[in-house]
Amino acid sequence: MKMILPSIVQGFRQAIAVPKLLLLLWLSNLLFAVPASLILGQILAESFADSRVATNMLEGFDLGWHAEFESTASSFGETFQPTISGPGPVLEHLEAWWSGELFAGHLGLVALGLSYAVLWAFLLGGVLDRLTVPSDAYSLEQFSRAGGRLLPRFIGLAVISGIAYWGIYELARRAYGWLQSANRDLTEERTLLMWVLPIAIATVGLLIIVRTFFDYAKIALAVDNNTSLLGSLVAALRCVRRFPFAVLAVAFVMAGFSAALLGLYAWLAPGVGQSTGVMIVLAFLGSQLYFVGRIWLRVALIGSEMRLFQAMH
């Protein structure tokens, strides 16, 4: 607790102290999503045409139309699912992340996801640099310069971490394959779930550990401009070895905050069937508030991890 609580408190303080940074991150993500949203809107408009489907969709999700639409949809059209409102997209993304299906979609969607990953790598470089320079005089030019300077090395870390993620997914795939073979004649679903759940928990735990380790490697690159990729990995390993419990505790505590925020959003978020302009606007604002909360927690996590990393020196 000696390192955990001060680090978390410091992370939240830093996240609160940079409202302009949070606004920049929110706007960057919103502007990135607008083109994809317009494309999807055009696809839906062409499918609705002059039919009553549009009216039905205002009253609730038309499953009959969607079954027909899904059989011919491709690329962005595939993303329009009954779970598209409320917490559904977040839960689907998390499921794709822990199951390894994140890059198994249409090529266009994978390309869009990779483009977003590059954007976030650029933004993350600026965020890390901003948190190392707690000054109100910090400019957008400094932010952009730091993001551009760190982007190539962050991409290099992404490639290395991708290999680690692949190893975890492959291990999980083999474990599920063995489980399926060993329980081929099993008819009790509860017993099968007792076997599947530990594998799923172990997979998620390993993914969080890998993500956390590479977070510290990125922090090392931001703190010391002369550090190489190998040097950043060594520095991250040194930090994890020195504060193993604190590193994991901070990561899982912040994951708990994220889960609590998602639970609150799931409780408050309206579902499909918003037929008035006011309710549609409120649903949009609610989703954006949730997204701002996620950004805030991400910045707080980065600040907490940076506090631990700096304590190593």
287 within 8 A of 30, measured Cβ to Cβ: no
Predicted confidence band of residue 85 (pLDDT cuts 50, 70, 90): low
DSSP of 208-252: HHHHHHHHHHHHHHHH-TT--HHHHHHHHHHHHHHSHHHHHHHHH
Q: Which residues contact 38 (CB under 8 A, 6 or more apart)?
A: none
Burial of 248 (0-12, 13-18, 19+ CB in 10 A): middle
Structure confidence at residue 225 (pLDDT): 79
More confident residue, 283 or 131: 131
Rounded distance between C-alpha atoms, residue 178 and residue 138, angstroms: 54
| pLDDT tens column, 103-122 | 555 666 667 778 888 899 99
- C-alpha–C-alpha distance, residues 91 and 83, integer Å: 9
User: Cα 105 to chain center, whole Å?
Assistant: 17
pLDDT at 93 over 90: no
Say yes or no to pLDDT of 95 above 70.
Answer: no
Q: What are 270-308's pLDDT values in tens digits?
A: 665 555 666 677 777 888 888 899 999 999 999 999 988
Q: Cα separation of 61 and 51, whole Å?
A: 15
Helices and strands (DSSP H and E) totals, the chain: 11, 0
Q: Residue 207 carries which side chain, given as an amino acid letter? A: L
Q: What is the pTM of this model?
A: 0.81
Q: CA-CA distance, 25 to 36, in Å (whole number)?
A: 18
Confidence of residue 30 (pLDDT cuts 50, 70, 90): confident
User: In this predicted structure, which of 50-64, 91-105, 110-124, 185-199 has the lowest mean pLDDT?
Assistant: 91-105
